[in-house]
């Protein structure tokens, strides 16, 4: 599960990481008052208006704007709320922006990158840090990998103080910055572990320019990204509550409400399968026969007839779908339940496109009977004998 930057900043603040004061707004009219509030709190005239979407690359896309007056804040808000954001992370269609963060601006001396994620090869969490933080970090990772420091975290001991200090020195922090940076990295590692994150990233972590009050500058987080392991959400109601359905693919959301795993893809063959392994094998064999799957839909082992019907509604609602392949190996999932779902969907929405069905396993005879009885509603139905036959038939049918 992904969350917005403003939610990630709140998590950081609650763990003791300093972040500039900010407000979340949803309308153009709220931009000027938000500008006034955050600049008063931050004792500056600089503020930054930032699109809140589940994608990065906002800076380069023009969706992070520095402003120095209420009118400029309003103009930035108008632009971001009325244009889709297209960045390297969004795909060409872009994303609609519904929320903005207005934060007090800071006078940046240097931008750093720090993040924690899980490294599968070593089966440990890893602290990744770089002195070359900011909007070009992906480029740095590609062209100058030596500028990226990796520190592996012991699964029981966590990030140790000496490790964090060493990283702070290697990043070039000096004077009072060192202990501040150590505190940030330690808090990030603790959040990562206790909240079951899959990514906890601050980019950039910055130092402010020296002032009379803070001659060494301050270490602040001015952008953050947190992803969470869905399998851990049941023990973090506070994190689950941060879920924003407006950022999700509506069909994927509809499916998850029914306990189905659905992922939209780019092809034209809708797939309805039970079990993730069989779903992947089905996609592979479709590709082997020259086709392209339009989705990955795993009804799982215990879907009800209603859930299966909903699965067909979702697949058929996608105008890109030119044919459907049902591949069921009935174990706990019964073939008659799947067949009834097909029959219901056929009655309700009609199958005008080719439908290839391969049913095997528990209650397969009852399933075939149901399909036979619904034959009038299923003029395009073809039965397949095995997986290869099914893939061949559906690929032929969609051309």
DSSP codes joined into one string, 324-378: EEEEEEESSS-HHHHHHHHHHHHHHT---S-EEEEEEETTHHHHHHHHHHTGGG-
Residue pair 124/154 in contact (Cβ under 8 Å)? The answer is: yes
CB atoms within 10 A of CB 33: 14
Q: Which is nearer to ligand GDP, 7 or 203 (CB)?
A: 203
* CB 48, min distance to ligand GDP, A: 4
Q: Which two tokens stand for residue 244?
A: 């924003």
* CB 19, min distance to ligand GDP, A: 11
Interface with ligand GDP (CB under 6 A), residue total: 18
Q: Is 35 a catalytic residue?
A: no
| Residue 341 binding ligand GDP, by CB under 6 A | no
Q: Which of 24, 34, 38, 64 binds ligand GDP (CB under 6 A)?
A: 64
Question: Is the preceding omega at residue 204 within 30 degrees of 0, hence cis?
Answer: yes
Q: Choose the stretch contacting ligand GDP; rule: CB under 6 A; options: 59-67, 255-263, 290-298, 346-354.
A: 59-67
- Give the Cα-Cα-Cα angle 189, 179, 196 (nearest 5 degrees): 10
Angstrom distance (rounded) from CA 193 to CA 195:
6
Q: Please provide residue 35's backbone torsions phi and psi, each rounded to the nearest 5 degrees.
A: -55, -50
Contact set for ligand GDP, span 149-188 (CB under 6 A): none
| Residue 102 binding ligand GDP, by CB under 6 A | no
Q: Which is nearer to Mn ion, 89 or 380 (CB)?
A: 89
H or E segment to which residue 149 belongs? strand 148-153
Interacting partner of 134 out of Mn ion, ligand GDP, none (Cβ under 5 to 8 A depending on kind): ligand GDP
| Position with the least CB separation from ligand GDP | 59
Q: Which two tokens stand for residue 157?
A: 């001991």
Q: Which of 125, 163, 203, 207 binds Mn ion (CB under 5 A)?
A: 203
Question: Where does this chain bind ligand GDP (CB under 6 A)?
Answer: 48, 50, 56-59, 64, 66, 105-106, 108, 111, 134-135, 203-204, 222-223
Catalytic residues: 113, 201
Question: Where does this chain bind Mn ion (CB under 5 A)?
Answer: 203, 223
């Amino acid at each position: 599960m992904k969350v917005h930057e403003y939610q990630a900043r709140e998590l950081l603040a609650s763990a003791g990481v300093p972040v500039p004061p900010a407000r979340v707004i949803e309308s153009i009219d709220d931009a000027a008052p938000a500008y006034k509030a955050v600049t008063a709190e931050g004792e500056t005239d600089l503020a930054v208006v930032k699109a809140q979407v589940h994608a990065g690359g906002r800076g380069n896309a023009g969706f992070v704007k520095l402003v120095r007056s209420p009118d400029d804040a309003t103009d930035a808000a108008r632009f971001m709320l009325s244009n889709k954001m297209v960045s390297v992370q969004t795909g060409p269609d872009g994303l609609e922006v519904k929320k903005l963060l207005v934060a007090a601006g800071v006078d940046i001396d240097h931008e750093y990158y720090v993040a924690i994620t899980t490294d599968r090869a070593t089966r440990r969490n890893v602290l990744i840090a770089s002195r070359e933080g900011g909007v070009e970090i992906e480029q740095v990772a590609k062209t100058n990998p030596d500028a990226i420091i990796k520190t592996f975290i012991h699964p029981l001991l966590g990030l140790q103080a000496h490790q964090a200090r060493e990283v702070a020195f290697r990043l070039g922090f000096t004077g009072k910055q060192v202990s501040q940076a150590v505190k940030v990295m330690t808090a990030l590692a603790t959040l990562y572990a206790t909240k079951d994150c899959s990514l906890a990233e601050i980019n950039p972590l910055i130092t402010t320019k020296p002032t009379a009050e803070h001659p060494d500058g301050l270490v602040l987080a001015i952008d953050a990204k947190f992803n969470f392991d869905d399998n851990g959400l049941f023990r973090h109601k506070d994190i689950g509550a941060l879920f924003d359905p407006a950022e999700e693919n509506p069909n994927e959301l509809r499916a998850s409400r029914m306990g189905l795993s659905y992922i939209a893809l780019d092809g034209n063959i809708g797939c309805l399968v039970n079990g993730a392994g069989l779903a992947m094998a089905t996609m592979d064999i479709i590709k082997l026969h020259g086709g392209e799957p339009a989705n990955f839909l795993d009804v799982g082992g215990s879907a009800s007839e209603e859930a299966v019907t909903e699965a067909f509604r979702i697949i058929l609602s996608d105008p890109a779908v030119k044919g459907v392949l049902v591949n069921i190996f009935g174990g706990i999932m019964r073939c008659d339940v799947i067949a009834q779902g097909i029959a219901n969907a056929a009655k309700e929405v009609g199958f005008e496109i080719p439908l290839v069905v391969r049913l095997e396993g528990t209650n397969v005879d009852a399933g075939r009977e149901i399909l036979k009885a619904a034959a009038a509603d299923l003029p395009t139905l073809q039965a397949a004998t095995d997986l290869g036959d099914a893939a061949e038939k559906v690929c032929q049918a969609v051309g």
